[in-house]
Amino acid sequence: MTTQTITYIKKSTVSFSDLWNSFGMTKDNGGRWDTTANTQAWVKEYLRFYRSPSRAFPHSHSKAMLSQKFAKELCVQDPELAVKLGVAE
């Protein structure tokens, strides 16, 4: 069995639609993005270090996931999904 080698595409990030479709995030009536039971465990662990969404900071989790840092972590944690979302090749 061969392992797939991927390369992060410079300055790539995931999109808002990816948060909903690929990571199981949800958005409530207050505009706060948060994890659900369908969100992967490694994503929840990644977001543990960020402020919980609130009315004052509704995008605290989504902004963290739209970063290059998260895209690079995605390449490590789930290379197949990283290629599918276009952040790696």
Sequence spans of domains, the chain: 22-85
Structure confidence by residue, pLDDT tens digits, 46-62: 999 999 999 889 999 99
Banded pLDDT at 65 (limits 50, 70, 90):
very high
Give the containing element (helix H, strand E) for 40: none
Cβ atoms within 10 A of the Cβ of 2, count?
4
- Give the pLDDT confidence score for residue 2 in this predicted structure: 47
Averaged confidence pLDDT in the chain: 92
- Give the pLDDT confidence score for residue 83 in this predicted structure: 95
Banded pLDDT at 3 (limits 50, 70, 90):
low
Structure confidence by residue, pLDDT tens digits, 15-36: 999 998 999 999 989 889 899 9
- Give the pLDDT confidence score for residue 5 in this predicted structure: 81
Cα distances (Å, whole numbers) of residue 8 to 46, 54, 60, 89: 18, 32, 24, 7
Q: Give burial (CB, 10 Å; 0-12/13-18/19+) of 41.
A: exposed
One-letter amino acid at 64 equals A
